[in-house]
């Protein structure tokens, strides 16, 4: 979603602002803008609707050597995507970029009649409010920002500059991330550390309720109540290679193909292959605490939710007397759900910033329930607010559609389940097949990707004209089918929905006709014969079936077959999901859509 960058230093600010905004493109946006200030305070405001390239063209005609500036990519919430609604917003000498939502903007606007509003945004109200306290430079900028923010209800990550103070940037956050990069005679800001990579490794993450005054060589942080905060400098671990395409045409393909490596990182140091045990340090739960867990609640959105569903199916297979509920965060936050005291909540999020997931985390914590993060982005808000956690360590995921995170989230949660089972004294013979297969998964993922990729590229072309799809699976292949359908609809805009195979005759069977194709996941296992009967029902009605299976002698008369050659059995659905990921990718390429930045979607959804 919206992105923020800022620079104060000795170099030309425009350079960093542009490269930073490009780095944040993956988050999703529909307009962009920057403002820079000359030494005498003269401002240059450049904004453009659409892609950053449009902004870049305008910047090329308006080069400035200014050493301070702020920039923004906007994802429309209040007001359509347009140049006027793009940030920065101006009020008097003030310029503001803002992520988040000012909920009481209408009310605030009523008392700001001195300002002539030109946009439809809530963010312009914030600019006008700050100016009303700043009074054209009569008071320190930071004081004006603090006074304004005290009146604001909602969420914000905000950066403010003024023509009257061309040596400082004021930043603040409440619910929307901001990270400050410390360079040599320069200070940078970004809403996502990836924009800082290659500029500095030293960063300070702002916490909710904090405001900071930044100059080229100073950072002063305080709370909105004026309590000073000492800056905690952390290291940015991401390197440049991790945020570049590395020879692939798209980030999505790169991220699918790097899963052997990303899962290896998830497993590193956590599996003891000699004695077939799992050890997770991050959750910080004692053996006694683990033993006492009788209920798991797993919370996430989108792909993270699917990973939670899948992990839930596995964990209940081997953990005795445990109930597991996987919930969609946007629903759960408003439910009046009872959480038993012997519960632990797994909070699943790649970005660690998803607003609904974060709201659930806070709600669950209030009830005194232990929260464990299954997060990728290091230092993210969820990672910092949970009681303990297991980072999945898959590295930056740039493509909006999540792939490598899904695999690692699911496996990390299964490993958490295994630590509960170990503590509860489940026999090693029961757990060992799970642990041994997990240890072999990176290699098996590598083999599968290599074998199925060329095959799927061909198959996807065959189905590229379709606009409707049904994904079918049963047991652990059901959440996997849900995730496959989500991938396809997200990026290729095919109306794809997943159903449990057993539900077919309760409705979806009525859909089977020439407009639809059916992607069926058919792993070996106890339910295989039942699934084949379900498949027969689709075939008998002329279904256009693609079968993804690890059954060697599979001989059903389907239209297309993707064979997964592996001796992995328990986790075969995760290997099948690789096929779904590649299928969505090649369908999208064949349809000619934007793979990495699908329309209307954002990578990190920081608004409700």
Interaction site with ligand G6P (CB under 6 A): 301-304, 349-351, 354, 357, 400-402, 601, 603-605
Q: Provide the 8-state DSSP code for 469.
A: E
For ligand G6P, give the closer residue by CB, 124 or 490: 490
Are the C-beta atoms of residues 353 and 177 closer than 8 Å to each other? yes
Rounded to the nearest whole angstrom, what is the least distance from the CB of residue 566 to ligand G6P in the complex?
26
The residue number whose beta carbon is nearest to ligand G6P equals 302
**Euclidean distance between CA atoms 30 and 82, whole angstroms:** 8
For ligand G6P, give the closer residue by CB, 190 or 392: 392
Up-side HSE of residue 520: CA atoms within 13 Å toward CB? 31
For ligand G6P, give the closer residue by CB, 549 or 604: 604
- Helix/strand/coil (H/E/C) assignment for every residue in 155-203: CEEEEEEECCCCCCEEEEEEECCCEEEECCCCEEEECCHHHHCCCCCEE
Rounded to the nearest whole angstrom, what is the least distance from the CB of residue 284 to ligand G6P in the complex?
22
Surface-to-core class of residue 340, CB atoms within 10 Å of its CB (0-12 exposed, 13-18 middle, 19+ buried): exposed
Tokens, residue 255: 């991220």
Q: Provide the 8-state DSSP code for 74.
A: E
Rounded to the nearest whole angstrom, what is the least distance from the CB of residue 579 to ligand G6P in the complex?
19
For ligand G6P, give the closer residue by CB, 67 or 380: 380
Rounded to the nearest whole angstrom, what is the least distance from the CB of residue 305 to ligand G6P in the complex?
8
Are the C-beta atoms of residues 74 and 32 closer than 8 Å to each other? yes
Angle at 522 between CA 519 and CA 527, to 5 degrees: 135
Q: Which residues are catalytic?
A: 2, 603
Are the C-beta atoms of residues 469 and 521 closer than 8 Å to each other? no
Rounded to the nearest whole angstrom, what is the least distance from the CB of residue 125 to ligand G6P in the complex?
27
Q: What is the DSSP string of 88-152?
A: PEEETTEEEEEES-BTTHHHHHHT-TTS---SS-HHHHHHHHHHHHHTTTTS-HHHHHHHHHHT-
Q: Do the bridges between strand 94-99 and strand 68-74 make them parallel or antiparallel, or are there none, so unpaired? A: unpaired
Are the C-beta atoms of residues 176 and 191 closer than 8 Å to each other? yes
For ligand G6P, give the closer residue by CB, 351 or 476: 351
Sign of CA dihedral 436, 260, 264, 406: negative
For ligand G6P, give the closer residue by CB, 173 or 213: 173
Rounded to the nearest whole angstrom, what is the least distance from the CB of residue 355 to ligand G6P in the complex?
9
Rounded to the nearest whole angstrom, what is the least distance from the CB of residue 603 to ligand G6P in the complex?
5
């Amino acid at each position: 979603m919206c992105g923020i960058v800022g620079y104060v230093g000795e170099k030309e600010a425009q350079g960093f602002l542009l490269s930073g905004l490009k780095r944040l493109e993956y988050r999703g946006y529909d307009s962009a803008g920057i403002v820079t200030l000359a030494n005498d305070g003269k401002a240059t405001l450049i904004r453009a609707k659409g892609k950053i390239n449009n902004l870049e063209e305008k910047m090329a005609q308006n080069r400035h050597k200014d050493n301070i500036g702020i920039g923004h990519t906007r994802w429309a919430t209040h007001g359509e995507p347009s140049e006027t609604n793009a940030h920065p917003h101006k009020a008097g000498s003030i310029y503001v970029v803002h992520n988040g939502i000012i909920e009481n903007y209408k009310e605030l606007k009523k008392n700001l009649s001195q300002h002539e509003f030109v946009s439809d945004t809530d963010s312009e109200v914030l600019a006008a409010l700050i100016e009303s306290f700043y009074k054209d430079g009569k008071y320190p900028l930071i004081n004006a920002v603090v006074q304004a923010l005290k009146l604001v209800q909602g969420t914000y990550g905000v950066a403010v500059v003024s023509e009257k103070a061309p040596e400082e940037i004021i930043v603040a956050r409440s619910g929307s991330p901001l990270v400050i990069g410390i360079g040599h005679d320069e200070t940078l800001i970004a809403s996502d550390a990836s924009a800082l990579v290659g500029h500095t490794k030293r960063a300070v993450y702002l916490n909710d309720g904090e405001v900071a005054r930044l100059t080229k060589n100073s950072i002063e942080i305080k709370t909105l109540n004026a309590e000073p905060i000492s800056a905690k400098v952390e290291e940015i671990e991401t390197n440049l290679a991790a945020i570049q395409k590395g020879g692939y045409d798209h980030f999505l393909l790169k991220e699918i193909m790097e899963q052997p490596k990303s899962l290896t990182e998830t497993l590193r140091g956590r599996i003891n292959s000699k004695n077939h045990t799992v050890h997770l340090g991050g959750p910080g739960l004692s053996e006694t605490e683990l033993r006492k867990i009788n209920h798991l609640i797993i919370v996430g959105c989108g792909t993270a939710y699917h990973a939670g569903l899948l992990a839930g199916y596995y964990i209940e297979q081997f953990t005795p007397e445990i109930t597991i509920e996987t919930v969609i965060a946007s629903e759960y936050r408003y439910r009046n759900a009872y959480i038993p005291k012997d519960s632990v909540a797994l909070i699943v999020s790649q970005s660690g910033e998803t607003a609904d997931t974060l709201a659930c985390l806070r709600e669950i914590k209030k009830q005194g329930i232990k929260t464990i993060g299954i997060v990728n982005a290091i230092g993210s808000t969820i990672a910092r607010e949970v009681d303990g956690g297991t980072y999945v360590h898959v590295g930056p995921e740039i493509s909006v559609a999540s792939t490598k995170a899904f695999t690692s989230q699911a496996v990390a949660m299964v490993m958490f389940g295994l630590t509960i089972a170990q503590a509860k004294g489940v026999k090693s013979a029961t757990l060992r097949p799970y642990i041994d297969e997990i240890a072999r998964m990176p290699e098996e993922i590598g083999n599968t990707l290599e074998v199925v990729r060329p095959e799927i590229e061909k198959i996807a072309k065959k189905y590229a004209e379709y606009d409707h799809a049904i994904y079918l699976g049963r047991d652990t292949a059901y959440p996997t089918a849900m995730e496959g359908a989500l991938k396809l609809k997200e990026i290729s805009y095919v109306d794809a929905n997943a159903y449990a195979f057993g539900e077919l005759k309760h409705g979806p069977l009525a859909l089977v006709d020439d407009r639809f194709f059916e992607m069926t996941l058919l792993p070996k296992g106890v339910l295989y014969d039942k699934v084949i009967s379900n498949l027969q029902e689709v075939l008998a009605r002329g279904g256009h079936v693609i079968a993804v299976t690890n059954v060697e002698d599979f001989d059903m008369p389907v239209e297309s077959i993707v064979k997964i050659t592996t001796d992995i059995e328990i986790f075969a659905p995760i290997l099948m999901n690789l096929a779904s990921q590649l299928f969505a990718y090649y369908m999208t390429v064949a349809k000619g859509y934007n793979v990495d930045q699908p329309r209307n979607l954002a990578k990190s959804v920081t608004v409700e």
